[in-house]
Structure 1
């Protein structure tokens, strides 16, 4: 059965379908159809969002270099993409002109793969290719052609500390935080508060 708009049931190629930005699962052909269906979709959408429970003791997980472990594969892909996109945003705001593209993301993944234990045990070439494909999917909210900001990360994950978590993960990958700064003292403080 072909995918169709949740509201009007039109299918591709008659319309272009896009996923709900919040739950990333329900398809709509337009903003008007999404608005028209919101009263019905709201409950299911919030359930899907709730399925992504925050990680307990995220800073301890970062300190132990297992922050990505125990997460579903699609969430891990999104976190890797968002970590890369946030670092590009940070670097550009620090005066470095860095392009956000698939080649840069591939180099980032190359580096992550050299850091023992950072990636979950299930990570392999097939999973990497799936992660790269998600980054190249222009219909997905975390595609590499779409810029990200600290505010959009907070909004997406519903956690004021999430940009810090992504930055600390990237520091473990690249060896330094934004602007060459070290976040180790901050990480140690956050671990003590958990």
Structure 2
């Protein structure tokens, strides 16, 4: 491994270049995103192996509210509301709503803000874990927070897929959403990375990370690692309509269908 005072990929050192450390391995430094991406195949096993997942900062306290008896299932399928907790109110048939582009519609304002933040945070983690790609101003790239990346994410939603946002969305709501992400000591923090397991625990729904990933895929037009959630979404929609085809969601190996995402 290169000296900690030089880029781990090209070996250049200050003052020729400015170095930033890997979010999870402070001793490994890079002069930029190109070198970090190029070095990822060699660094991935060591980096991901340290905690078994995405680089992280401290994670704010999770919601301690117990799920209600009417929505305590860990599955999004069927007639139950999803997610079971972590929001003011879940929605029915979430995968059907994703397909219609109305997944964020008819939700409480605070819930929309939180879900946009989590869709971005999980997408950033997936891009890092699957493709070794980390934007320089992201947590995965060593920044203190992911505000800049989240602002680009919101801009992309508004420009490419504005109908995904609720009808009441405007510039003031965008600012309020960003402000929530920068508020200290709460779940929806852009100062902390998240993993799939964090999201499952917070929302009480084993399939909720899939919903967040599918929303982000609708925004970007593709999923990390070259995978596609279209087949899984069709399967989940069939289950929501009662046509399970002899399968239950708990019997499906989601990792194979979703490109081995963590």
Alignment TM-score > 0.5, same fold: yes
How far did residue 177 of structure 1 move? Answer: 1.1
Inter-partner Cα distance in structure 1 for 2:86 and 2:122: 23
In structure 2, the residue matched to 1:113 is 158
Q: Distance in 2 between matches of 1:52 and 1:140?
A: 15
Q: Alpha carbons of 1:46 and 1:160: their partners in 2 closer, same or farther (altered >3 Å)?
A: closer
- 2:218 maps to which residue? 172
The number of aligned residues is: 155
Unaligned runs of 5+ in 1: 1-18, 24-44
Check conservation: 1:167, 1:178, Cα contact below 8 A.
no
Question: How much does 1:47 deviate?
Answer: 8.1
Task: Provide TM-score, normalisation by structure 2.
Answer: 0.55
Larger proportion of helix: 1
Change (3 A) 1:96 1:120: same
Q: Contact between 2:61 and 2:186, CA under 8 Å: does it hold in 1?
A: no
User: Highest CA radius of gyration, 1 or 2?
Assistant: 2
Match of 2:89 among 32, 53, 59: 53
Query: Counterpart of 2:109?
Result: 73
Which of 195, 207, 226 is matched with 1:149 structurally?
Answer: 195
Determine helix, strand or coil for the equivalent of 1:117: helix
Deviation at 1:117, TM superposition (A): 1.1
Instruction: State how far apart, in whole Å, the 2-side matches of 1:164 and 1:158 are.
Output: 13
Q: What is aligned with 2:236?
A: 190
